[in-house]
Amino acid sequence: MADVKKILCAVDFSDYSPMVADYANMIAKCSQAEVIVLYVAPSLSQYVGFHVPPSSIESFVGEIVTGAEDTMNTFVAENFKNLSVEGKVVTGYPAEEILAISEAEGVDMVVMGTHGRKGIDRILFGSVAEKVVKSSAAPVLTVRPD
């Protein structure tokens, strides 16, 4: 039988992130697992070549991370009561960061949302969830919006 003791719950703070949190919450309560709630802020390093001073980009990313950390604290308090929970905010490419932290933390399960893009949007933007599902060593539960 699967033993789930550590769950990575990846959120993007969209309107349906609480729904993703509900699934992680339910599984954590059933298995007494600890939860790592992860938000990946976009890395703006790819814009360095666009005549924007690197110091401006670093400052902007710093402001995004600070705001995300405040949002994370509120999100954890509202959605994960009576559980062992750690909120993490990192910068980078979401799929890569989710996979790296999942491996580094030795999680037993990843819970994340999917935007359910289809057609040209999926071709242009790809799917973070799809990349994680294909590459994760741990099982991945994806939650679609209503």
CA separation for the pair 78, 52 (Å, rounded): 37
Those residues whose C-beta lies under 8 Å from the C-beta of residue 11, and which sit 6 or more positions away, are 17, 20, 21, 37, 38, 39, 75, 112, 113
Give me the pLDDT at residue 50, please.
59
Q: Fold for domain 6-143?
A: Rossmann fold (3.40.50)
> Is the model's pLDDT at 42 over the cut of 90?
no
Percent of the chain with pLDDT strictly greater than 90 = 60
Q: 97-123: per-residue pLDDT in tens?
A: 999 999 999 999 999 998 766 666 555
The total number of residues shown for the chain amounts to 146
Quick check: pTM over 0.75? yes
Nearest to 35 by CA among 103, 105, 133, 95: 105
- Neighbouring residues of 127: CB distance < 8 A, sequence distance ≥ 6: 114, 115, 117
Domain locations in the chain as residue ranges: 6-143
pLDDT for 47 equals 55
Q: Could you write out the DSSP letters of every residue in 86-107?
A: EEEEEEE-HHHHHHHHHHHHT-
Structural Rg of the chain based on CA atoms? 16
- Lowest-pLDDT range, 16-20, 57-61, 96-100, 106-110? 57-61
